[in-house]
């Protein structure tokens, strides 16, 4: 037939701790690029897995067929991609925040050391005046 078919789990990115949830959501669902491939896989006597086309049409070995216009799998895949992107962005922002907090702590240490030096200068200045 010629075409592409992949397990849905292989097509989405997710954190390791999300694996069980992703396996529950996608199970053994196979994403196919054409309806012909999707039908052939879903109804093959040796395979019999649920398939979904890139258009969102779902083929179920139980015999049901649903149209892509109302199927939420495409929306779910899109939301998962948005989530992965947001997580990546969050990680970058957290790294930047850590760097800023480290700089702030360094400035606070420098400010404290400056105050200590100024206090010591005042004490030595007073001692010098007393010696005169």
**CA-CA distance, 52 to 67, in Å (whole number)?**
10
Q: Is the pLDDT of residue 119 over 70?
A: yes
Higher pLDDT, 76 or 9: 9
Mean pLDDT within 67-73? 56
Q: Is the pLDDT of residue 70 over 80?
A: no
Yes or no: say if 35 and 66 are a contact pair by the CB < 8 Å rule.
no
pLDDT number for residue 101: 95
Residue 97: pLDDT band with limits 50, 70, 90: very high
Terminal Cα distance for the chain, rounded: 104
Spell out the alpha helix ranges (H) of 27-72: 35-42
Q: Is the pLDDT of residue 68 over 80?
A: no
Task: Considering only CA atoms, give the Rg of the chain.
Answer: 31
- pLDDT per residue over 10-55, tens digit each? 888 888 888 888 888 888 899 999 999 999 999 989 989 999 888 8
pLDDT number for residue 22: 87
Q: Is the pLDDT of residue 75 over 60?
A: yes
Q: Is the pLDDT of residue 74 over 70?
A: no
CB atoms within 10 A of CB 67: 10
Give the best-scoring range by mean pLDDT among 50-54, 75-79, 80-84, 93-97.
93-97
pLDDT number for residue 115: 94
pTM over 0.85: no
**CA-CA distance, 15 to 106, in Å (whole number)?**
34
């Amino acid at each position: 037939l010629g075409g592409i078919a992949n397990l849905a789990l292989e097509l989405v990115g997710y954190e390791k701790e999300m694996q069980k949830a992703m396996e529950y959501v996608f199970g053994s669902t196979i994403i196919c690029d054409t309806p012909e491939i999707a039908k052939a896989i879903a109804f093959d006597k040796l395979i019999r897995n649920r398939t979904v086309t890139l258009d969102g049409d779902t083929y179920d070995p139980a015999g049901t067929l649903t149209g892509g216009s109302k199927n939420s799998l495409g929306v779910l895949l899109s939301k998962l991609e948005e989530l992965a992107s947001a997580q990546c962005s969050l990680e970058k922002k957290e790294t930047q925040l850590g760097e800023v907090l480290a700089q702030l702590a360094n400035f606070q240490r420098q400010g404290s050391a400056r105050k200590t030096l100024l206090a010591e200068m005042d004490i030595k200045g007073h001692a010098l005046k007393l010696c005169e």
